[in-house]
A and B are shown apart, each in its own frame.
Chain A
Amino acid sequence: MKWSLPALAALLLFYPFILTGPFYWDIGVAFLLAAISASAWNIVGGYAGQVSVGHSMFFGVGAYTPLLFYHLWGLPPVAGVPAGMLVSLVLAVAIGMPTFRLQGHYFSMATIAVAELIRIFVGTWDLVGAAIGLQGPAVGRAWWDLTFRSELPYYYIFLAVLAVVLYTTFEVERSRFGYYLRAIKAGERAARSLGVPVRATKLKALMLSAVFTSVAGSLYSIKTGFIDPESGFGILVSVQMVIIAALGGAGTLFGPLIGALLLVPLQTATNTWFGGGGSGLTYILYGGIIVLLARFEPGGMHEWWQRVAPRLMRRSHAA
């Protein structure tokens, strides 16, 4: 599959010129954002097997800080991105340390509880807009406010970030850290007996994942120019990350990308076909897809392809 990576890169790079216009560019941007968030989650949820369903806490932090910097001090939202990453990092450590002691389902539940707690709390905190939320500059004061009318600049900025996340994941995969992650996923007790520093590894994975998720949140709020407790910290944000990674294949490099590739156009299609009622249909489909995935192919499309591809190859060679 040596040619597939350059081909993929070229496709992503030139997509806006292959399918032009606000409609397709909007889908492209949505796809990239979904891929970034899911890839970020993938590090701790896919590779290390720690199924967090509360990652919206990091996304929300990353989404709020840029608009907060604008709202409080009039700074360009971009200036708030590093702050978001820092707060997410601290949050990851604070949450990770007590929560990683819990196993399996309890861990997932704890992540949901904490994310919900933060969401409700933010909804009562006046400084960050309470239930109303925050807005960014509607009309940019200069280019660094990043308020573009067209989707195109956002597309390339997001693409650059995706490349960074994927590259980092790639390096992690190949490193000893990656080996530790896979060992933990396979079985924590066994990993510990092999000398894997389980606690430290899980924490590091969460920290890395949190930072990237935070950046995804920042990208989202800078582009849309609005954030509120529901769109930043809502449970659907968390669930979407998990679903997309799982659909494509959690714990694989390109799984989140494939998941996003399948799910984002699907969501746009159902929204467009059914107008207002469409978003309900989208989530029914989401739900159905996840249930089928869980029931028949937990490894996602990646695993399905691993099973099916050799058979296809054999048939084409035989012919």
Chain B
Amino acid sequence: MLLVQVIVGGLLLGAIYALFSSGLTLIWGMMNFINFAHGEFVMLGMYVALLVVVWLGGGPAAFGFAAAFALFVLGVIVYISLIRHVMRGPMLAQILSTFGLALLLRYTAFWIFSANFVSLPQVSLSGTVNVAGILMPVPQLVAGIAAIALTLALHLLLTRTTVGSQLLAVAEDRNAAMLMGIRPDRMQALAWGLAAGSAGIAGALMAMSYPWSPSVGETFGLTAFVVVTLGGFGSVPGAMYAGLIIGLIQALSAYWFGPIYKDIVVYALFAALLWLRPQGLMGKA
């Protein structure tokens, strides 16, 4: 049934949305701060994957790890050099900071890589899996499963480990956490690293199936906002469900109404959420 095919495709893409949005929601929940450059982290992850394949001939494991690591480092650097300072400043500065960062990252990518669309040269993963008539290209299947796994891993990290509980403590009550001996600054840097890293690896996973150019960061950023709003700020499980739902809605809209309308549905949903239920499905109000 074609409809099932649409649904499966939507869920697989939605899984990747879930992955890169989970990092955004973490930052948001911890610091009440929106990273307008988040989409660019995803985009950079895609280019890291490309470079690893082209220069080192690496496979999915290699470029996935490289993207995660490179972006983790970038995230920490961004926090230490920029975010940490503007957080104490006026609202305009906070918003401008990541906006400026987005422009900087996006156009540096244009400068270095040009505006041409690129795709990963044929990787080791190819072919299509056929399950009861539903076709799933292997790269997309692997990406989707990996994305869900990583999102769950992040959730477990936050809820089952010491580091995780320290992160959540800072999110819940910064001062109380400080009194307990937790360094909020370090935790926030870590959060930024995790957020950027998960965005980076999400990008690498997507690069296996889709062509991209430096311009895709903008769309991913907005998608991440929608997912996080629907899922609820600060909730990684929320981001997971919301990512899948948004992927599904997008695929169904494209199929039923036509590809040019799919973004309208998603953004309209976004606007409606912001006005009617800003706390989303699972977030703190």
Contacts and interface: CB of A to CB of B under 8 A. Distances in A.
Interface of A: 45, 49, 51, 53, 98-99, 101-102, 104-106, 108-110, 112-114, 116-117, 120-121, 123-124, 235, 239, 242-243, 246, 250, 277, 280-281, 283-284, 286-295, 298
B92 A49 contact: yes
A251 B133 CA distance: 61
A291 B98 CA distance: 7
A51 B100 contact: no
Given A284-B108, A295-B86, A110 B274 contact: yes
B25 to A, nearest CB: 13
Interface of B: 32-34, 81-82, 85-86, 89-97, 99-108, 110-111, 218, 222, 225-226, 229, 260-261, 263-264, 267-268, 270-271, 274-275, 278
A284 B107 contact: yes
Contacts of A277: 111
Nearest to B104: A287
Contacts of A289: 100
A284 B111 contact: yes
Given A104-B32, A120-B267, A294-B89, 8 more contacts: A51-B91, A108-B34, A109-B229, A116-B267, A121-B264, A124-B264, A235-B218, A287-B106
A265 to B, nearest CB: 19
26 contacts: A51-B92, A51-B95, A99-B274, A101-B275, A102-B278, A105-B33, A106-B274, A108-B95, A110-B271, A113-B222, A113-B226, A113-B271, A113-B274, A117-B270, A242-B96, A243-B100, A283-B103, A286-B107, A287-B101, A288-B104, A290-B97, A293-B100, A294-B97, A298-B86, A298-B90, A298-B92
Contact of A124 (B101, B108, B226, B261): B261
B110 A286 contact: no
Contacts of A114: 271
A283 B92 contact: no
A290 B111 CA distance: 18
Contact of B274 (A102, A242, A280, A287): A102
Given A235-B218, A284-B111, A294 B96 contact: yes
B216 to A, nearest CB: 14
B82 A295 contact: yes
B260 A123 contact: yes
Contacts of A108: 34, 95
Given A51-B92, A110-B275, A235-B218, A290 B32 contact: no
A123 B110 CA distance: 25
A104 B33 CA distance: 9
Given A124-B260, A280-B111, A293-B96, A104 B91 contact: yes
A105 B225 contact: no
Given A287-B105, A295-B82, A99 B100 contact: no
A117 B226 CA distance: 12
Contacts, number: 137
A288 B100 contact: yes
B41 to A, nearest CB: 15
A295 B79 CA distance: 12
Nearest to B102: A287
B34 A109 contact: yes
Contacts of B278: 102, 106
Nearest to B268: A117
A99 B85 contact: no
Contacts of B99: 53, 239, 242, 290
A287 B91 contact: no
Contacts of B229: 109
A117 B271 contact: yes
Contacts of B107: 280-281, 283-284, 286-287
A283 to B, nearest CB: 4
Contacts of B271: 110, 113-114, 117
Point out which of A45, A117, A277, A288 has the most chain B C-beta atoms below 10 A from its C-beta.
A117
Contact of B110 (A45, A117, A280, A290): A280
A246 B99 CA distance: 12
Nearest to B221: A112
Nearest to A121: B264
A239 B99 CA distance: 8
A91 to B, nearest CB: 13
Nearest to B274: A110
A95 to B, nearest CB: 9
B270 to A, nearest CB: 5
Nearest to B28: A105
Contacts of B111: 277, 280-281, 284
A243 B270 CA distance: 25
A295 B90 CA distance: 11
A96 B86 CA distance: 27
A294 B100 contact: yes
